């Protein structure tokens, strides 16, 4: 019975991050540029690795392995047919301006994208108007992002912006005046970027698995190359806070540098290094490799994870002040969701660390992370999906339910298992000095 409980707790801990790079989604980001009498839009469609073959098959209608100009144009027109733009309830005609497609090879790697630009004519009458945009293209596999740039014309003001939950429906109020004052400082786009950041880390199985695996031995003390003894709650919380803060500072730095175009690394090496970071943290959870220096490791690998975060923001093609505001919102969204996940797992982790069965959970969790990291390394080096990686993503879909199971099992383990004695701060310090 207890073995079953420990296994269930492992699943709850390991699969809570049902949430890094999801490979089975079709990101569609639309940015509007609105001026009196016209609406211009740029739409970037980025298929994940798992669904890229299906998207390519939709474009390559004759299945010859080449995306001809005719096939590209036909697909672009099909996308526009799934879009609807209305002004005050009257539908506007969408005109395709340009269509740019990455190569099939890049799409299969998850680095390719489709960029469409289109336009529509709108009313030039003064007063308030309601612009409504709906995107129904491939709704079963897609995630959406939509926003509007601040108009250059000072006589056109953007008002309230409303989105449904998945941003497939967007409404913005426009007010056309004569000689209206400049809008000046604006946080337009912050909320959309915040949601995108929260969604990205919530779907980031690899990012969260690295952090949670690094936290597995945080309540323990290292002595002569082994994890033995439990630190006080205060010492454990201080240690965990240091790890989470270091990871946050690391990925925030490279996220900002990369998003602002000051630093860049190719996508594939970054993804491989992220998988390596999980392997390192898993091996450390099994046997102490760098006891007491987890914050340094978290900060170092946080720099790598930040580059991956930036890639999601860079896909939107934002510029100027709007890019800065979106960067702020995106990063705060990442931190907010990361805090939620850690808060959901940390109390149960600390409770379980007080029981004699915690070593079983720690070793099983570390083994799971090792298997996942090796599967991801193989996928990203060989550019070929494998069944283990797919199984992990499938398991991750049940993260919320398994997290509840983790809490229930922690309560059962607390009541049914012998508790591990707490080591005082003074003795803990002595153990650390001896181990070093």
Q: Which residue has the higher pLDDT, 283 or 226?
A: 283
Residue 428 maps to a domain? yes
Round to whole Å and give the CA distance between 354 and 320. Answer: 51
pLDDT for 184 beyond 50: no
Note whether 296 and 339 are same-domain residues: yes
Q: Do 320 and 284 sit in the same domain of this protein?
A: yes
- The reply to whether 207 and 161 lie within a common domain is no
Per the structure, the complete domain to which residue 382 belongs is given by 2-21+203-435
pLDDT at 118 over 90: yes
Q: Match 């995306």 to its residue by tokens.
A: 67
Q: Are 157 and 234 members of one domain?
A: no
Asked if the structure places residue 198 within a domain, the reply is no
Based on the fold, state whether residues 157 and 207 are members of the same structural domain: no
Whether residue 297 is contained in a domain is answered as yes
Is residue 194 situated within a structural domain?
A: no
Dihedral sign from CA coordinates of 347, 353, 355, 360: positive
Of the pLDDT bands very low, low, confident and very high (cuts 50, 70, 90), residue 277 is very high
Query: With bands split at pLDDT 50, 70 and 90, how would you rate the model's confidence at 129?
Result: confident
192 part of a folded domain:
no
Q: What is the pLDDT of residues 323-359, one digit of tens each?
A: 777 788 888 988 888 888 888 888 888 888 888 778 8
Domain membership flag for residue 193: no
> What's the confidence (pLDDT) of residue 420?
55
Both 233 and 154 in one domain: the answer is no
Q: What is the pLDDT of residue 45?
A: 94
Pair (216, 323) in one structural domain: yes
Question: Are 39 and 181 part of one and the same domain?
Answer: yes
Whether residues 93 and 155 fall in one domain: yes
Residue bearing tokens 């005609």: 93
Residue 132 has pLDDT above 90, yes or no: yes
Whether residue 10 is found in the same domain as residue 70: no
pLDDT band at 37; cut points 50, 70, 90: confident
Q: Are residues 321 and 424 in the same domain?
A: yes
Q: What angle do CA 98, 74, 171 make, to 5 degrees?
A: 60
In this model, does residue 221 exceed pLDDT 50?
A: yes
Provide the number of structural domains found in the chain. 2
- pLDDT band with cut points at 50, 70 and 90 for residue 15: very low
Query: Where are the alpha helices (H) located in 114-232, listed in sequence order?
Result: 190-202, 205-215
User: Does any domain span residue 197?
Assistant: no
Polymer length of the chain: 436
Last residue of a domain, one of 186, 211, 245: 186
Q: Are residues 34 and 168 in the same domain?
A: yes
Pick the last residue of a domain from 186, 213, 238.
186
Examine residue 195 and state whether it is found in any structural domain, yes or no: no
Last residue in a domain, options 128, 155, 186:
186
Q: Number of helices and strands (H, E) in the chain?
A: 14, 12
pTM reported for the whole predicted model: 0.61
DSSP string, 214-277: HHTTTTEEEETTEEEEE--HHHHHHHHHHHHHHHHHHHHHHHHHHHTTS----HHHHHHHHHHH
């Amino acid at each position: 019975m207890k073995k079953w409980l420990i296994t269930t707790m492992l699943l709850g801990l390991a699969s809570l991050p049902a949430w890094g790079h999801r490979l089975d989604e079709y990101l569609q980001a639309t940015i509007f540029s609105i001026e009196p009498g016209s609406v211009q839009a740029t739409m970037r469609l980025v298929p994940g690795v798992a669904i890229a073959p299906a998207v390519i098959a939709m474009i390559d209608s004759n299945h010859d392995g080449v995306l001809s100009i005719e096939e590209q144009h036909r697909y672009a027109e099909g996308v526009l047919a799934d879009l609807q733009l209305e002004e005050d309830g009257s539908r506007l005609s969408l005109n395709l301006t340009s269509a740019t497609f990455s190569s099939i090879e890049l799409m299969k790697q998850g680095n390719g994208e489709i960029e469409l630009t289109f336009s529509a004519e709108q009313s030039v009458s003064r007063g308030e108007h309601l612009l409504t945009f709906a995107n129904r293209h491939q709704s079963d596999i897609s995630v959406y992002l939509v926003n509007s740039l601040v108009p250059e014309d000072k006589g056109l003001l953007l008002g309230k912006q409303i989105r449904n939950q998945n941003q497939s429906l967007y409404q913005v109020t426009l007010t056309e005046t004569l000689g209206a004052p400049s809008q000046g400082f604006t946080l337009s786009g912050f909320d959309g970027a915040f949601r995108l950041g929260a969604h990205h880390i919530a779907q980031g199985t690899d990012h969260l698995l690295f952090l949670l695996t690094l936290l597995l031995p945080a309540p323990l003390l290292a002595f002569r190359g082994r994890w033995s003894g439990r630190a006080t709650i205060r010492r454990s919380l201080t240690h965990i806070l240091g790890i989470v803060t270091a990871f946050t500072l690391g990925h925030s730095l490279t996220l900002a540098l990369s998003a602002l175009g000051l630093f860049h690394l190719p996508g594939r090496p970054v993804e491989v290094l992220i998988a390596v970071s999980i392997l390192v943290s898993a091996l450390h959870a099994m046997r102490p490799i760098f006891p007491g220096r987890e914050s340094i490791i978290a900060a170092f690998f946080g720099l790598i994870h930040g580059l991956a975060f930036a890639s999601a923001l860079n896909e939107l093609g934002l510029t100027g002040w709007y890019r800065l505001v979106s960067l702020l919102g995106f990063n705060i969204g990442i931190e907010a969701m990361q805090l939620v996940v850690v808060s959901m797992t940390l109390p149960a982790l600390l409770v379980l660390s007080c029981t004699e069965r915690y070593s079983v959970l720690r070793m099983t969790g570390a083994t799971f992370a090792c298997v996942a990291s090796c599967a991801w390394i193989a996928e990203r080096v060989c550019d070929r999906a494998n069944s283990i990686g797919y199984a992990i993503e499938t398991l991750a879909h049940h993260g919320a339910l398994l997290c509840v199971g983790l809490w229930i099992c922690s309560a059962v383990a607390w009541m049914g298992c012998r508790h591990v004695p707490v080591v005082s701060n003074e003795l803990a310090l002595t153990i650390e000095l001896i181990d070093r």
